[in-house]
Structure 1
């Protein structure tokens, strides 16, 4: 007896020692669960709250506090995984006994009898190895965890951490992914499908094996009924239900050029893809879709005219802003993101050509010129030296014509190069150069070629500059992001930036001139019935670049086409031919979804009218009508 007692004591002490060693090895693992932090998916939404894209690194998850989880989900989970969850202290001895008997009978490890608490520990803190040692560690941690966390906290962590198949981590992500519903809108059958997934997520994935998924869900419903947790009527109603299941990609990125720009702008946020942020954009997905269609429309038209052209380097970009705020409503950086991720709307630097001319003319108007001021559209020859070599520059109008003396308004409506160059000389090159820097243009060459837009600018930069006109003299910085909110609800809003350049009445003079350029000038193909449009075409030498920059009373759109290798688009592919029709396409479509959009430009106070030679001119106290002819200078000037 003495030896037996000693043996029992030794076994007890050995078991206690082993348990103590196990617990010492794993006691810090409890902290992983107590201080649980999981990577969470960031969502990008448009201005109406519609999903633009999901951002995540390894695990696609939306976190839900316990208060958000409907009781039906808790009941269904307990019914299938752990009926006595709210009664045990972490382990269920009856379930473990039943599992041991089954394992002994089968001769192998087939069932574990784990509680929800044990499953949480296994998933977060321990490996999934099937061994007695791991089960002992799991049981010890479960008992300890139940003394630290409440049942609700354990359930919250379990339902947010568990994998539900198809790349979905957590019940909230699974509900939105499979059924496009928030949890409180799930049917009883949909709840049963979801809670049945963790046992074998791939096998019961309803997008792959709907029949097996429905069968397991029905078993869960029967279990809930047998426990008295659902009524006969609820059971009968749910058994035959076959929910609509969606099989979609996790990112759901429907505006990739926009998303890339968001990632670029917010690259300073280290946990952007795992912090569970909500990023609200100024983008409107309806505008975005129409903009994409418009860009493709113009692209296809160019390709159709260039039937013999086998080059695939043709591309384009479009930026749509709200005039008053500079909010970016749509941005497409290329005709096919799958073929090229390069964002031409923000990254390409292309010559704006004649679309730069309005800035020269606005400078002249602000210095006292009037829209009827006479300009000399005559040929000039400029001699200059480059690298110790004498050179000659002889700029020409499109079509090699010249018009003699023309009103300032006509010079811009017809996009006359020679008249514009002569205007730069009259105003003074240094004045034009300095003012161009004020407008936000950089890397401008210090010579007269800037009159023809001979420097690089992106469509987004051009969009910013054109708000000088569309926003009546106040330039707005384009703003893509409206706000960003973290998962705790703290919101950071992005302020709009503005810069007053000229009074509204001065800007309106240029609006009127560009309105005429669309009605009668080079931008005629941009016209849309029933709405006033102002804008300017832009073409560079040999039609390497084709632009149309225009706006209605509320919306501004800049469109560019060109080849990525900087070769010519093709003969006659000017801004008016290549880009203006895409602008028209965009606004014709937009009017169908926004019929109440403002149709006519406002005329500011202090703007007056005059009829001269049958033509209507607007003028201000600064830009009064002129009668005198321009002074003529010698034919040969040093460039």
Structure 2
């Protein structure tokens, strides 16, 4: 008897020693499961909570145990591990049965793994069938059962395992295959899902529906056999054939937007693609589609006018914002993301041409000029330094003498704008432009014609000086970011009052005239007030239209990526302005309650000048008509106009 006890003691010691030896080798693997932090899918939504895209390394949407329907647990346990809630991580009876079968087959044919062991195998160990790996699996499973509850283990299992088609975790699989939340699944859909981890590729319902349904029926049969579903449920379930969707994993509906959001947030979060963030953007997917459709309309119109256009480089971009909030409603960085992912709305800096002119005229208004102050539309030569002279010309080569600021901007007269800038003084203008928010403005008169580079998204911010009553609002693309622990970070724009509202309204009134009677006529829509400015750079390299209504603003650009000229007929008025009209016409259909008329702020008055009503303010009073006529006559007599 003593020898028997000694023998058992020695066996126990050997077993215990072997257990602790194995555990010492793999104990850190246990912590990976206990402190479970899987790679999760980051989801990007639009402002209306519609999914824009999934971003991930492993496409996994996490679900907590309390949010997993009991039917899902029952189905999984029924088919994979019926005694799950009774054993301590290892089913010894099943192991003995498996060993007997292995001995008879003279190889490892049956594993007898519990759900706990399957979790260990998936999360911490390889899946190869070796005795050493099996021992490690058993040791880790026992450890887990002592550290975690049954609910925690099954929660980790259902979130970690692979369900085929790129879906990790059961919540992801439910949304992917059936476009349903877990609590919306039918019994047959649940059976399909819990049957998948055994052989995800073979049972993938998008590729092998017959095999998937057969596996699901075996799940239902097992549930029926052990009494977890009744006869009616079993029959109904076996006859059902659910609708299965073969969706793309990313579901990316706005790739230019997604790229920009990920680029911006990567500066703050190094796990943006694996951290399971919920990102709410400012984008409105309906507006995004309208903008994309309008941009492609304009692109196709260019191709109709120029059969020889180089489609490899011809492109466009559009940014739509809500001026009051700075929120970007649409951002389209090109006509076809599949052909080019380069984001021309944010990455490209193009010369704005005449679409920049309103900023010069706003500075003039802020310095005592009125909308009808006279400016010289005359040809002059300017000393540019280093012995160089610049003799700019109007489009068409003619000039008209003295004209009003309103006329000069409406017709986009180059010489009048250059002379106005010269009269204001380059130092003053540059100082004011810097106050507005412009950066790296060159110190020469050519800036009057927009001879510097700027991105659409930056231009959208600066144009809010006009569209938002003198207050610059920084553009934002992200409203909030929520991490996996439900901590919420909100994003707010910066707002700076640059001009008094009444001064900015004077500019809006001038830009309304551009659309009503000037170069922006192709943007006009009956029944709604639109303010805007066209822009065309030298040799028709860039074509712009920057337009806004009381509620919405759009910056539109076309050109060749390599800065080669477009056809001579292309310009802001013909190429870009109609795109604003097409876009806004569709926008009004979806949002018919948008404001149609600009509000006239306090401090803006109407007065008569040369027989017409004109807006003025205390800072920009109307000139005396007789004095104005005398100024023009004196200019004629002095020979300044030639």
TMscore range, shorter length: over 0.9
Could you tell me which residue of structure 1 aligns to residue 185 of structure 2?
A: 186
| Map of 1:290 onto structure 2 | 290
Q: Please state whether the residue corresponding to 2:36 is helix, strand or coil.
A: coil
**What does residue range 127-146 of structure 1 map to in structure 2 within 5 Å?**
127-146=126-145
- In 2, are the aligned partners of 1:380 and 1:635 still within 8 Å (CA)? no
Secondary structure at the aligned position of 1:375 is classed as strand
Distance 2:29 2:381 in 1: 83
Report SS of the residue matched to 1:266.
Answer: helix
Supply the distance in 1 between the matched residues of 2:39 and 2:287 (Cα, whole angstroms).
32
* Alpha-carbon distance between aligned partners in 2 of 1:424 and 1:137, rounded to the nearest angstrom: 80
Inter-CA distance 635–572: structure 2 relative to 1 (3 Å threshold)? farther
Q: Deviations over 1:344-381 (max 9, x none)?
A: 11111111111111111111111111111122212222
Q: Deviations over 1:311-361 (max 9, x none)?
A: 631111111000101111111111122222221111111111111111111
The aligned residue for residue 25 of structure 2 is 25
Q: Partner of 1:312 in structure 2?
A: 312
* CA distance in structure 2 between the aligned counterparts of 1:611 and 1:110, rounded to whole angstroms: 98
- Name the CA shift for 1:632/1:446 in 2 (closer, same or farther; >3 Å): farther
SS of aligned partner of 1:622: coil
Separation in structure 2 between the aligned mates of residue 393 and residue 141 of structure 1, nearest angstrom: 81
Q: Per-residue deviation at 1:249? A: 2.1
Q: After superposition, where does 1:338-417 map in structure 2 within 5 Å? A: 338-386=338-386, 390-417=387-414
Partner in structure 2 of residue 459 of structure 1: 456
Task: Give the aligned partner of residue 260 of structure 1.
Answer: 259
Unaligned 5+ runs, structure 2? none
TM-score (norm 2): 0.95
Q: Which moved more, 1:249-258 or 1:377-386?
A: 377-386
Residue 470 of structure 1 deviates from its aligned partner by 0.5
Aligned to 2:277: 277
SS of structure 2 residue aligned to 1:328: strand
Partner deviation per Cα, 1:259-286 (whole Å, 9 max, x = no partner): 1111221122111111111111101111
Deviation at 1:555, TM superposition (A): 0.4
1:418 corresponds to: 415
| SS of equivalent to 1:239 | helix
Helix, strand or coil: the match of 1:90?
coil
Paired with 2:310 and 2:42, the residues of 1 have a C-alpha distance of: 42
1:2 deviation in Å? 9.4
SS of the residue 2:534 aligns to: strand
Give me the whole-angstrom Cα distance separating, in 2, the residues matched to 1:402 and 1:488.
Answer: 66
**Is residue 41–residue 273 contact of structure 1 (8 Å, CA) maintained in 2?**
yes
Whether contact under 8 Å (2:384, 2:444) holds in the other structure is no
Give the CA RMSD over aligned residues.
2.1
| Structure 2 residue 50 is the aligned partner of structure 1 residue 50 | yes
Specify the alignment match of 1:600 in structure 2. 597
Provide closer, same or farther for how the CA distance between residues 418 and 26 of structure 1 changes in structure 2, counting only shifts above 3 A: closer
Shift of residue 105 of structure 1? 3.5
SS at match of 2:71: helix
Cα distance in structure 2, aligned partners of 1:284 and 1:311: 29
Supply the distance in 2 between the matched residues of 1:193 and 1:355 (Cα, whole angstroms): 59
Query: CA offset at residue 429 of structure 1?
Result: 2.2
Looking at structure 2, the residues matched to 224 and 343 of structure 1 have their Cα atoms a distance apart, in angstroms, of 54
Equivalence for 1:472 = 469
Q: Residue 352 of structure 1 contacts residue 453 of structure 1 at CA under 8 Å; is this kept in 2? A: yes
Alignment map for 1:484-495 (pairs within 5 Å): 484-495=481-492
Once the 2 structures are TM-superposed, how far is the Cα of residue 125 of structure 1 from its aligned partner? 1.9
Q: Which residue of 2 aligns with 1:62?
A: 61
Do structure 1's residue 155 and structure 2's residue 171 form an aligned pair?
no
Query: 1:11: Cα distance to partner?
Result: 5.4
- What is the CA–CA distance in structure 1 between the aligned matches of 2:571 and 2:466, rounded to whole Å? 22
- C-alpha contact (below 8 Å) 2:378/2:640 kept by paired residues: no
Range that drifts further, 625-634 or 343-352? 625-634
How many aligned residue pairs are there?
633
Would the aligned equivalents of 1:382 and 1:636 in 2 still touch at CA under 8 Å? no
Measured at CA, do residues 323 and 576 of structure 1 come closer, stay the same or move farther in structure 2, by a change above 3 Å? same
Residue 555 to residue 17, structure 1, CA distance change in 2 (3 Å): same
What are the superposed Cα offsets for residues 438-476 of structure 1, whole Å, 9 maximum, x if unpaired? 122222221111111111111111111100000011011
State the alpha-carbon separation in 2 of the partners of residues 114 and 605 from structure 1. Answer: 78
**Separation of aligned partners in 2, 1:515 and 1:500:** 22
Kindly state the Cα deviation for residue 310 of structure 1 after the two structures are TM-superposed: 4.1
Q: Within 1, Cα distance between the matches of 2:309 and 2:10?
A: 91
Contact 1:383 1:636 (8 Å CA) reproduced? no
CA distance in 1, matches of 2:639, 2:278: 63
**CA deviation digits over 1:93-129, x for unaligned, max 9?**
2322332333334333222111111111111122212
Structure 1 residues 465 and 6: alpha-carbon distance in aligned structure 2, compared to 1, 3 A threshold: closer
What are the superposed Cα offsets for residues 593-635 of structure 1, whole Å, 9 maximum, x if unpaired?
1112111111112211124344331111111111233585988
Q: Deviations over 1:29-58 (max 9, x none)?
A: 32222112111111111111111121212x
- Counterpart Cα distance in 2 of 1:496 and 1:383: 42
Query: Could you say which residue in structure 2 is the equivalent of 1:77?
Result: 76
Quote how far apart the aligned CAs of 1:554 are.
0.4
Report the alpha carbon displacement of residue 77 of structure 1 after superposing the two structures with TM: 0.4
The DSSP-based 3-state class of the residue aligned with 1:108 is coil
Q: Identify which of 596, 613, 616 aligns with 1:619.
A: 616
Distance 1:101 1:616 in 2: 102
CA–CA distance in 1 between the matches of 2:5 and 2:514?
Answer: 108
Structure 1 residues 18 and 329: CA distance shift in structure 2, 3 A: same
Looking at structure 2, the residues matched to 477 and 596 of structure 1 have their Cα atoms a distance apart, in angstroms, of: 25
Aligned to 2:479: 482
Q: Which ranges of structure 1 fall in alignment gaps of 5 or more residues?
A: none
Distance (whole Å) between structure 1 residues aligned to residue 639 and residue 234 of structure 2: 95
Asked if 1:326 is matched to 2:323, the reply is no
